[in-house]
Chain A
């Protein structure tokens, strides 16, 4: 196998593939990527047996066809460190791959391509088309609430489901929940699947690279996303996602409108003196004044008042600062709207610009 390729064409696929590959090296070949050169393109494949990423790079000068696997991390690190627009020469000599660029030369160990595993393809029963930027936005604004390593394994992922003519994305770790939906013309498909955490994070990066129409194929135990140059497959989490609609609070609303940046920076200041483990903060609302208080076991404290627009009874409520701040980052508007339902109930962080995106946050007892 031998081919010449421009660094700029390879750097992104190599990085994305490296992220997908298995880093813990439980099976050595999973930390490698498969490079297949044929005609005038090369195909890069990476998998950790749960997810699989395949991409094709066209316009490559292939001198000799062939395929081999090489360390995903080393390939990505090398390509990234080569100057822009440099021509790279890849050549398989014996069991090593030689990479040449300008005066640089490297020899990397390989493992045989025939040993590289692939995920068995599934019977995809549903298929929808959506713009990659829309899906990337939906994932980007909700994935923050996903659980990580929770015993409730079904929370360690994002729920993707269709409702009427809308595609909904939901994630929750039990303490907060993010929900968003977008309507898709002529949507007839009906599915409700949980995509695992790692797949969600990698998919977000992969589809953010290009703005194009992509296809989502869903089967009972797999999801497959296809773009013009890539195909991404992930196994699904089997389990019942909780009935998230029950989580949306109801009752008497008290609405707070606050300058997003002012609130965010005040929270950052207070967070310095909050308890590092719990990250708790007390919000007191009275008329048009919001008081933010934090304290820690060293008996240090911080307090700040900001002018806000608040309609509702006097309220004192505790939250995890990170949850508040992370929900604020998904708001594109300059002001944030937070709706409270009493001291013991969760609040809703709303997005004026996008009414289909909400974050629900459970309070803390401080």
Chain B
């Protein structure tokens, strides 16, 4: 038996945790550079705001109607997410963190000693009390059905945010109400093809012959069909699967046309990516850089390109990564363009505990590099003024615009909420 715990309008709810005055008020969260709406509360939805609405178009009318908006504050969201996951780990020994705002719980054994509906309520209330975040809980014998249960909890207020689908008759009833495109694992393309053969609801999908699905679609969808029937095919992944690549990319606050500024931005992203890589205890062999102009500015000449450098040996040393990122950048940079975005991608990862020694690349260098990087990471973790490489720039005028960001309530001493 599984439970899916899913946060309601996650980013918007995070903004409300330390702003109780925003309860029942419209709240939206904006993308990087305050470009467009990426999360919204149900009150904002009622005002007619939609996901991806450009902020400059809705700003004046939305604020006039009493709506609140925030620049994205990922540090706050990540920290609140971590608090929720820690709380969940207390409630169930086996959890799979599926995304920043969702987790699957393995309920094996729970149903022997507790009513599942009650367990769901307890989950919801504990998280609300301990973290201030509203969540909904879907309970079912398979992960796919628990997603369906969570859908039910979201759209039917009478459920009070908890749906238990352990009984087959309840499964059938809800499956019949859920459009097939809402089923976990059914993407846009498959949805179109399913529609062509008359499959409209989740129940329709649960009824098709799995052999037919395997031959005409794929094995993954066949698994989904079985899961909808209550046969567990997808287990809990308690170990988050190792990342295959790390990407750090940002849109600039203003257009950039000179190589020096681009180098500064790319070096900064490289340093962030390298720190992420070390947090995962990995080293990478390839460093790629990409740059592009703004395709929405028709008056500008357009250019986009990417370049990759292979390193001599896998590394997680910020210096190596910055150096090679700059090398890749210089190879693809063309003058006379207004660049709006750049990014860095690290790939082909190696475990930092396993190392193939090289005749011409000394062990001592790796050892010193590890010590230096460890020290930098330790200092930066303490929340003191950060240590960074000069290549990352000092003023960073290109860096993202976040004009209406909320304080980092939980991760910065200076941003602690004050009681007056």
Interface residues of A (CB under 8 A from B): 149-152, 172, 174-175, 177, 242, 247, 275, 277-278, 280, 320, 344, 346, 360, 362-366
Once the chains bind, are B357 and A365 in contact (CB under 8 Å)?
Answer: yes
Partner of B355, one of A242, A275, A277, A364: A364
Q: Give the interface centre of A174, A242, A346 by most chain B CB atoms within 10 Å.
A: A174
Closest Cβ of chain A: how far from B200's Cβ, in Å?
41
Expressed in whole angstroms, the Cα–Cα distance for A360 and B357 within the complex equals 12
Expressed in whole angstroms, the Cα–Cα distance for A366 and B313 within the complex equals 16
Once the chains bind, are B354 and A174 in contact (CB under 8 Å)?
Answer: no
In the bound complex, residues from chain B placing their C-beta under 8 Å from that of A366 are: 354
In the bound complex, residues from chain B placing their C-beta under 8 Å from that of A150 are: 312
Expressed in whole angstroms, the Cα–Cα distance for A152 and B354 within the complex equals 22
B353 within 8 A of A: yes
Once the chains bind, are A152 and B356 in contact (CB under 8 Å)?
Answer: no
Closest Cβ of chain A: how far from B33's Cβ, in Å?
36
B358 within 8 A of A: yes
Expressed in whole angstroms, the Cα–Cα distance for A174 and B141 within the complex equals 53
Closest Cβ of chain B: how far from A84's Cβ, in Å?
45
B350 within 8 A of A: yes
Interface residues of B in 317-372 (CB under 8 A from A): 350-351, 353-361, 363
Expressed in whole angstroms, the Cα–Cα distance for A247 and B360 within the complex equals 9
B234 within 8 A of A: no
In the bound complex, residues from chain B placing their C-beta under 8 Å from that of A363 are: 357
Partner of B311, one of A151, A175, A247, A277: A151
| B242 nearest CB neighbor, chain A only | A297
Further contacts, 15 of them, CB under 8 A, given A151-B309, A278-B354, A346-B359:
A150-B312, A151-B312, A174-B312, A174-B313, A175-B357, A177-B359, A247-B359, A278-B356, A320-B356, A344-B363, A360-B359, A362-B356, A362-B359, A364-B354, A365-B357
Given A151-B312, A277-B350, A278-B350, does the pair A174, B355 have CB atoms closer than 8 Å?
Answer: no
B173 within 8 A of A: no
Closest Cβ of chain A: how far from B397's Cβ, in Å?
34
Closest Cβ of chain B: how far from A146's Cβ, in Å?
14
In the bound complex, residues from chain A placing their C-beta under 8 Å from that of B363 are: 344
Once the chains bind, are B355 and A365 in contact (CB under 8 Å)?
Answer: yes
In the bound complex, residues from chain A placing their C-beta under 8 Å from that of B351 are: 278
If over half of B's interface residues share one DSSP class (helix, strand or loop), that class is named, otherwise mixed; here it is strand
Expressed in whole angstroms, the Cα–Cα distance for A360 and B355 within the complex equals 17
In the bound complex, residues from chain A placing their C-beta under 8 Å from that of B358 are: 174-175, 362
Expressed in whole angstroms, the Cα–Cα distance for A364 and B313 within the complex equals 13
| B348 nearest CB neighbor, chain A only | A277
Once the chains bind, are B359 and A172 in contact (CB under 8 Å)?
Answer: yes
* Selected A-B contacts with CB under 8 Å, 9 pairs: A152-B312, A174-B313, A174-B359, A242-B359, A242-B360, A362-B356, A362-B358, A364-B356, A365-B355
Partner of A149, one of B309, B310, B311: B310
Closest Cβ of chain A: how far from B324's Cβ, in Å?
9
In the bound complex, residues from chain A placing their C-beta under 8 Å from that of B350 are: 277-278
Closest Cβ of chain A: how far from B361's Cβ, in Å?
7
In the bound complex, residues from chain A placing their C-beta under 8 Å from that of B310 are: 149, 151
In the bound complex, residues from chain A placing their C-beta under 8 Å from that of B357 are: 175, 344, 346, 362-365
Q: Give the interface centre of B310, B354, B356, B361 by most chain A CB atoms within 10 Å.
A: B356
| B363 nearest CB neighbor, chain A only | A344
Expressed in whole angstroms, the Cα–Cα distance for A110 and B199 within the complex equals 55
Once the chains bind, are A152 and B355 in contact (CB under 8 Å)?
Answer: no
In the bound complex, residues from chain A placing their C-beta under 8 Å from that of B313 are: 174
Expressed in whole angstroms, the Cα–Cα distance for A177 and B310 within the complex equals 21
Expressed in whole angstroms, the Cα–Cα distance for A280 and B351 within the complex equals 12
Expressed in whole angstroms, the Cα–Cα distance for A174 and B362 within the complex equals 11
Given A150-B312, A151-B312, A152-B312, does the pair A365, B360 have CB atoms closer than 8 Å?
Answer: no
Please name the 10 residue pairs, one residue from A and one from B, whose CB atoms are nearest each other, closest first: A174-B358, A362-B357, A365-B355, A247-B359, A364-B356, A278-B354, A151-B312, A175-B356, A174-B360, A242-B360
Once the chains bind, are A365 and B359 in contact (CB under 8 Å)?
Answer: no
Closest Cβ of chain B: how far from A241's Cβ, in Å?
11
Expressed in whole angstroms, the Cα–Cα distance for A150 and B354 within the complex equals 20
Q: Give the interface centre of B310, B358, B363 by most chain A CB atoms within 10 Å.
A: B358
Expressed in whole angstroms, the Cα–Cα distance for A242 and B358 within the complex equals 13
In the bound complex, residues from chain A placing their C-beta under 8 Å from that of B361 are: 174
Closest Cβ of chain A: how far from B400's Cβ, in Å?
33
Expressed in whole angstroms, the Cα–Cα distance for A364 and B363 within the complex equals 11
Closest Cβ of chain A: how far from B355's Cβ, in Å?
4
Once the chains bind, are B353 and A365 in contact (CB under 8 Å)?
Answer: yes
Closest Cβ of chain A: how far from B62's Cβ, in Å?
50
In the bound complex, residues from chain A placing their C-beta under 8 Å from that of B311 are: 151
| B310 nearest CB neighbor, chain A only | A151
Closest Cβ of chain B: how far from A215's Cβ, in Å?
33
| A279 nearest CB neighbor, chain B only | B356
